[in-house]
Amino acid sequence: MTNNIIQWVKPLTSLKLTVFCLGCAMILVFLQIVLRPKRFYKPFAIQLVQFSQDRYAGTDLPKNFSSRIRLLDPSRHEDRETLIYMNHPLRYQGLTFYQSGFDNNDTTTVLQVVQNPSWLIPYISCALIALGMVIQFGMHLTSFVRRRVIS
């Protein structure tokens, strides 16, 4: 059990050991453990074609920024260009790519990649609420029609 835990944690951590010798008698040891995010490699590539942004008049604040990217996936024989901009992310293979920023004098785009396995739950919830409302309305409608026919 311990070996499995160590093998799982090992790619996520980096161990840095620094030893200083001051004179001959004193040794200072600094131990630093750094957590790194785990990398996941995907069978597709994304290439930035064009980045553009609008700024508010008279300021350096960004008003709108977008990225035209090229999606290359040799496994699916897909080569297409798409535009990612505010509130319009790219969804591909269960991942969502959001435009989250820019850098290097407006020549680099920063994309945030999100995987949300429960994206369907709000739609199912809304459908169930709508179905419940239709059933409730139907029950009241049929009771109203019955009372109307009887009288």
Q: Tell me the two tokens of residue 67.
A: 């990225």
CA distance 79 to 114: 22
d(CA 16, CA 4): 22
CB 125 within 8 A of CB 118: no
For residue range 99-109, list pLDDT tens digits in order.
887 777 767 78
Beta bridge partners of 51: 67
* Residue spans per domain, the chain: 2-35
Contact between residue 66 and residue 84 where contact means Cβ atoms under 8 Å apart: yes
Which has the higher per-residue pLDDT, 37 or 142? 142
Verdict on whether the full-model pTM lies above 0.85: no
Look at 134 and 113; give whichever has higher pLDDT: 134
Rounded-to-integer distance, Cα 88 and Cα 66, Å: 10
CA distance 93 to 76: 11
CA dihedral 71, 76, 78, 84 (to 10 degrees): -30
Q: What pLDDT sits at residue 140?
A: 93
Check: CB of residue 62 under 8 Å from CB of residue 103: no
φ, ψ dihedrals at 28, nearest 5°:
-105, 135
